[in-house]
Amino acid sequence: MANNHAIVIGGSMAGLVVARILSDRFPAVTLIERDQFPEEPIPRKGTPQSRHIHVLLLQGQIILEKFFPGLRDEMIAAGAHLIDVAADMMWLNPAGWGVRFPSDISMLGFSRDLIDCKVRRRLALINNIRFLQGCEVTGLLSNTHGTCVAGVSVRHHKQSHQGIWEESPGRIKAAYPSEIGYYI
């Protein structure tokens, strides 16, 4: 089987980042999402935590910046808050309140909708990534020998896409692999 098409199931942050990583290794990447992605950073049904404040710690910023150069500055320009962990936060420990001082250790505070929207927009600019929205994966397909996953079946679409898959729906669906003899 030629590995020329990667399929990512789910448009969560994990799915978005996996699609970006796979775009460097595969000629075609399809991200399948049950919901329709909004054009603007607004809540969507498939992201129940989207109304909560989110933070991205320093290492997360470094990792995302590697795959999406300039994302941090773009997020700040769109309203994310850069928080100096040592200067802007108060820490109570067994010895009392921690001393506040300027540092290079920062985290970024934002809405989940903002980061999802910014990352999706970046992915949309990558030629070999395609979004399949409003579609639900109904199962996995194996090759004729049943030795590997060869594609997915998708509700409302007549054909399945051949390639490897990465399940990132935010919730593990162990029934998919077990239907064809694989267990998580």
- 15 or 151, higher pLDDT: 15
Measured in whole angstroms, the distance separating CA 53 from the mean position of its chain's CA atoms is 17
Strand partners, 142: 149
We find that the CATH architecture of domain 5-179 is 3-Layer(bba) Sandwich (3.50)
Question: CB of 85 within 8 A of CB of 142?
Answer: no
Q: What's the pLDDT tens digit per position in 32-75?
A: 999 899 999 988 887 878 888 999 999 999 999 999 999 999 99
- So what's the pLDDT on residue 146? 77
Sign (positive or negative) of CA dihedral 1, 11, 121, 66: negative
Q: Which structure tokens are listed for 163? A: 């390639």
CB count in 10 Å sphere of residue 75: 23
- So what's the pLDDT on residue 51? 82
- So what's the pLDDT on residue 178? 67
Strand partners, 96: 93
